Amino acid sequence: MSIHTVAPPGGLREVVAAAALRLLLQGLLKPVLSPRVPLALQRSWLRGLAALTLAPRGVRFERSTLAGVPGEWVQPVAASGVGALLYLHGGAYCIGAPRTHRAITGHLARFSGRPVFVPDYRLAPEHPFPAARDDALACLQALQAAHGPVVIAGDSAGGGLALATALAQRDHGGPMPAGLWLLSPWVELPAGQADASTAPAPPGEAMLSAAWASACAAHYRGPTPASDPGCSPLRAELAGLPPVWLQVGTDELLHAQGLRLHDRLEDAGVPVYAEVAQRRWHVWQLHAGVLPGATAAVRRAAAFSAQVLAGEQPLTAPPAPGAARRHRVLVLGAGMSGLCTAIQLKRAGIHDFVMLEQSSGLGGTWWDNRYPGARVDVPAPLYSFSFAPYPHWRRRFAAAPEIQAYMEHCATRYGVRAHLRLGSTVTAAHWDEAAALWCLRTADGRTYEAPWFVCSTGPLSQARWPDIPGLADFAGTRLHSARWDTQVPLAGRRVGVIGTGSTASQLIPPLASQATQLTVFQRTANWVLPRLDRRYGVIDRTLMRVPGVARAVHRFWYAVLEWGRRGFDEGTAARASMLRLAQKQLAVVQDPALRAALQPPYPLGCKRIIYSNDFYPALTQPNVSLVTEGIEHITPQGVRTTDGREHPLDALVCATGFDTTHLLASIDLRGRDGQRLADLWHDGPAAHRGVTVPGFPNLFLMLGPNTATGHTSTLLFVEPQVRFVIDAMQRTEAAGHKTFEVRHDAFDLHNAGLQARLRGSVWSQCRSWYRTESGRITALWPGFTAEYVRDLTHPDWREYDIA
């Protein structure tokens, strides 16, 4: 791999300086970098902060002009070697100047021994694209004429400008620069506020926001579309570029863009080396001279610059264009199970792996589920990894953004961001018998190979639209709860919701407070229990930092929810208690007809139980109506039910969840002899302890068939699964073997036993997403958590073939 994780240097100075600088940036700079603040004020504020920067010794700063472009020379006192550097400052194309970046340019000139020219290129909105690129290109050509070889460097927007300038020089047929040093480059501009190219900033981002970036991008683009390669060089053909030294931080807005650029450069055959600095924000190199890690980063880049200027080749050759990227492990999916897998791989000393994620951000279902009211339905202390307790929870039942922030926190803490490949949709995964490798293809044409394949997409990854005639003809706004568009306004509109399950119970209360009329279409009523929620205060968060307290809280909630599992069995005290609570919840509905319509016609627990305190009250509001007649057809204007009535709607929300019975259906997944997993699973998905499948060696499923739970946190199942996978890999490799595969007889015996237990359970007594059309229960584990953990922690290795 040419992507390398760089840990911050140890020592008290680094720790104290990093903490202080982050706080200063978040307090003094980030609030000013806002679309609400005039650009003139932003520019003057940045110049004022730059005046506090201490320039390094051993360099001179001289105002000058090059090719008609004003700027600043940074001359090393002790000059050595041939060539020069062109540095393009950042500032989102709208702010910034040579003076604001002297900490970087001064150290760069000093460490490389070469002069650095920093143009004061024209800024937007006064001078939109291509003014800045024209200035940079003129300076490059003048430097090459006077000094010979040139390295172009740039940070943020300057990094994107450096890449665009090199591409323009290539396309003009001029001599290429000797190399590129790109610091947190901005190489793909957003087309608007909701564009996926500018994802929400991670919690540690100290400077940037997506809103500010989008506003500045609009200023710079002017009438030019964001897709133009001149504005967004990530979209250009990159072949023919010189060696690239790339530096990004894990805590920055442009982290994912930097990694995508690395992959695109490798695809194009460009030598590239990427450093991913752990726990560092956007362009942390600006603190060179104060932050030891920043100084070291500039020193490494200066050494690279000196090498390429001297005509040396400092980087290893990239893979041939179109060649497969070879790793030890491929992880599909960056949800909770994928994140756990990545963390534990690194803790086991396995660092050669990548995580392929189709979305534009980390989180899996917690990235996809952005609907109003989305939250976890188990206590947050139990929805945390046992090895990574989180003292920052705000509520006992955390909302989706808070869970996603926890995942970002874990990804940064354990250094897995460098392994993420966002926006990578896997379309095919084939086992190569001769090479003993899994070969994965993505929608954009990349190929990855590895002996081990961990599929952590989980059961909640493929959104399921209802199979109702006319759905595609609806003329209003159509939304799915798992693909929510936060930009769609619903206030003051007539909104319909199909579904009254767990997801619907969360989004209906906030929709009821916005919509003029909310119509809820219910096929079957659900059991509702109270959500024992409360806000966590300062005392709670302080106690969670006390050694042993987090573990004790984790164990407490584990015991409580395991007791709740008994509520699925007839004749238990737990079941009697849960039934009393459910009837008490339903009693808040005063209207007898509505209360009768909300009474479930099946035993408690047969379908997923809803935990909510505001679902029933929302249904009693005067602007909310519950429709229990079946849906006959969806018309362009609304929904027509079987009683002949048409319900006019402006927006239709499908809270119909996920397809859990056709797992991995979107991937052409083939094992030995080309056997398709879809064919093996034609009667429904099945696996040995939810993890392994015969005929598919070295493939491991996270939260595979029959590992969902109706009563507790899925993370209690994920962690032993990951430990089992790593143990199986290490055992196989230590024995000098190549493949690990479950035996057919063990697979058949295990699943026959599961189905026998499930046939007599409460889950067999109604239709639900737990079951296939044939009635086979493919989602749930029939027993208690401890049994599953024990089976995976102490497996019978005779059930597997290791060869």
Residue 178 sits at the vertex; the CA angle it makes with 172 and 184, to the nearest 5 degrees, is 95
Q: Which amino acid, one-letter code, is at 739?
A: T
CA 645 to chain CA centroid, Å, is: 43
Q: Answer for the pair 320, 417: CB distance below 8 angstroms, yes or no.
A: no
Based on the residue annotation, tell me whether 156 is a catalytic residue of this protein: yes
Neighbour-count burial of 583, counting CB atoms closer than 10 A to its CB (0-12 exposed, 13-18 middle, 19+ buried): exposed
Tokens read off for 117: 């020219």
Name the residue ranges covered by the structural domains of the chain: 10-309, 325-462+660-802, 471-526+607-654
Q: Which amino acid, one-letter code, is at 605?
A: G
**Helix, strand, or coil (residue 650):** coil
1.10.10.10, 3.10.20.30, 1.10.150.120, 3.40.50.1820: which CATH number matches 10-309?
Answer: 3.40.50.1820
**Helix, strand, or coil (residue 633):** strand
CATH of domain 471-526+607-654: 3.50.50.60
* pTM for this prediction: 0.76
What is the pLDDT at residue 461? 56
Q: Which amino acid, one-letter code, is at 669?
A: L
> In this structure, what DSSP letter does residue 535 have?
B
What is the pLDDT at residue 272? 93
**Packing angle between helix 157-172 and helix 131-147, nearest 10 degrees?**
70
> In this structure, what DSSP letter does residue 101 have?
G
What is the pLDDT at residue 416? 85
Q: Do domains 10-309 and 471-526+607-654 have the same CATH topology?
A: no
3.50.50.60, 1.10.3720.10, 3.30.70.980, 3.40.50.2300: which CATH number matches 325-462+660-802?
Answer: 3.50.50.60
Residues of the chain falling short of pLDDT 70: 1, 192-201, 316-322, 459-462, 658-663
- Residue where the block lists tokens 């079951």: 771
Q: Give the Cα separation of 695 and 670 in Å (integer).
A: 9
What is the pLDDT at residue 195? 45
Q: How many CB atoms lie within 10 A of CB 420?
A: 24
What is the pLDDT at residue 625? 96
**Helix, strand, or coil (residue 78):** coil
Q: Answer for the pair 539, 611: CB distance below 8 angstroms, yes or no.
A: no
Q: Give the Cα separation of 186 and 208 in Å (integer).
A: 12
Tokens read off for 333: 């999916």
What is the pLDDT at residue 212? 93
Of the candidates 156, 197, 209, 761, the residue annotated as catalytic is 156
What is the pLDDT at residue 321? 62
Closest of 68, 123, 73 to residue 98, by C-alpha? 73
Element (H, E) at 654: strand 651-654
Q: How many CB atoms lie within 10 A of CB 18?
A: 23
Q: Give the Cα separation of 251 and 246 in Å (integer).
A: 16
What is the pLDDT at residue 531? 95
Residue 53 sits at the vertex; the CA angle it makes with 50 and 57, to the nearest 5 degrees, is 135
Q: Give the Cα separation of 506 and 509 in Å (integer).
A: 7
Q: Give the Cα separation of 265 and 258 in Å (integer).
A: 11
* Residue-level length of the chain: 803
Q: Answer for the pair 440, 426: CB distance below 8 angstroms, yes or no.
A: yes
